[in-house]
Structure 1
């Protein structure tokens, strides 16, 4: 995010705000050929359809930088509305006649649901024009986190079910890149109960997407739950079914507690659960290897095959 701030002579001052989305309604119907259609408008040729009101996700940045001072003497604060810490980087890209205290670039760790003073800005020469441009970067999690590599994760589904790990660590279909290198894809029917593999706090939720596919446009359109663990690592449960989440942001949950139902939303070639454990390694999310306890009680690194 790149912002430019001007002094009073330029008569312009920009603040970080975003406009709220309005609620939407979606419609589903099956045509005479048995093909299911989804739309944000009711079908014109039939009255037999399903509809539901979508609760739009909060459209404001969950981490934002705001000025609590004046145009002449800005005082910048970070506001974190996530139920977990966020790392923030402030960096000046252009400047004219200004003093920033403390000087940027500088990184900050903003605790969950809190505000933090970032810096004050003032002109070096009081009666001369001033301006500056800055970038804001942020990443979920505390960059000082050390994942407990000896922790054993439980199966993220009901133990008497039989599913299949279709992609394991370093999967060649989509498990490339730091965030997904050590992820699992567990094939299962839509609507299967998803359980927490480890206790923690619900940091974030998305549950308003209703379809999936291998179109790149769908990469950011999958439903998920992000859970923050006691050691600062975070589990991501993705491709969940529309509006199936049964926990709330900020809720403390226990291991093996039901949290949602599996689905087929986002970038996906078929119904499955995508599960990964991630840490912030310094303005960068990275997945980490983990141990999984199987039905037999054996504790091992997960591999492709029945589970």
Structure 2
């Protein structure tokens, strides 16, 4: 049997991790236990423990990680999903020569949150010859749902008694041009304003390590602190541009509408303090934004239009 060399087994992973699927910094948590001993750790303490947060820069780490097992002639590729919710993955073979795959590619997979799953094994069609290929991977967060959610009416993501204007509404052409953001809204609010969950769900992803923002898209587009919440109907709420080290919920936690998630900020690609809010859905390897109306205190509903003043309806928890 011909032993294929590593040089002949070319492969690449092209990850499409929508909306900040990577983290570029990590917090160090400083706290004192009941014995008076100080701890410095990258693991968040329990919710009842008082702690300080020290901002630390580090290299990017993907939420979706692929690794290879097996042998040079029979490689197996596994994927670890570091989200606290499912991710859909699509694998394709490019520039394949004398290659067979089990299962056949292209193929799509759904990998549960916090799970590693074997996706595909590869080998030579003709074992007497070497083989070469590129393995292309794309991923989209959330469970694939064929029908887009309709008639959603949600609370504004801030407290009752507060009122904040919308600076960019549905179809805003300033920065919301793609399918994943055409139904996004920007709500102007001061840094430090409590941001509340608009619906019940599970915290799927958290990032609150960034401390800078600006209008240089190339530099700041992927540096917005955010919280992503997965709802029971498969939709996901994304709250972005949050303040540094302000997230109040843990990944994997179930939250109720009105729970304080974080504080608003001005991180990432941003020209001023505001909250970027959008409801998204995976319609089958495509992340799309979903239209909705905001509930108002008088019982009416408000279309998210530019310059509209929203009034809060949630008490906050």
Q: Same fold (TM over 0.5)?
A: yes
Measure, in 2, the Cα distance between the counterparts of 1:11 and 1:267.
40
**d(CA) in 2 for partners of 1:252 and 1:267?**
29
State the 1:58 CA deviation.
8.4
**Distance across 1 between alignment mates of 2:76 and 2:222:** 34
**Which deviations, in whole Å up to 9, do the C-alpha atoms of 1:128-160 show, x marking residues without a partner?**
222222211111122225443233211100111
Paired residues, what number? Answer: 274
**Residue 212 (structure 1) aligns with:** 213
1:306 to 290, 304, 309: 309
Q: Show the counterpart of 2:187.
A: 186
Residues 73 and 9 (structure 1 numbering): CA distance in 2 closer, same or farther, change over 3 Å?
Answer: closer
CA 1:197 to 1:52, structure 2 compared with 1: closer, same or farther past 3 Å? closer
SS of aligned partner of 1:71: coil
CA RMSD of superposed structures (Å): 2.6
With CA pairs under 8 Å and 6+ residues apart, which has the higher RCO, 1 or 2?
Answer: 2
Alignment match, 2:5:
10
Can you give the 5+ residue segments of structure 1 that lack an aligned partner in the other structure? 1-6, 26-50
Between 294-303 and 276-285, report the one with greater CA deviation: 294-303
For the residue of structure 2 that corresponds to 1:8, the secondary structure is: coil
- The 5 A counterparts of 1:76-225 are 76-144=77-145, 146-216=147-217, 217-225=219-227
Q: CA deviation at 1:110?
A: 1.4
Q: Output the CA distance in 1 between the equivalents of 2:296 and 2:66.
A: 45
Equivalent-residue separation in structure 2 for 1:223 and 1:269 (angstroms): 15
1:265 to 261, 264, 267: 267
Aligned match of 2:235: 233
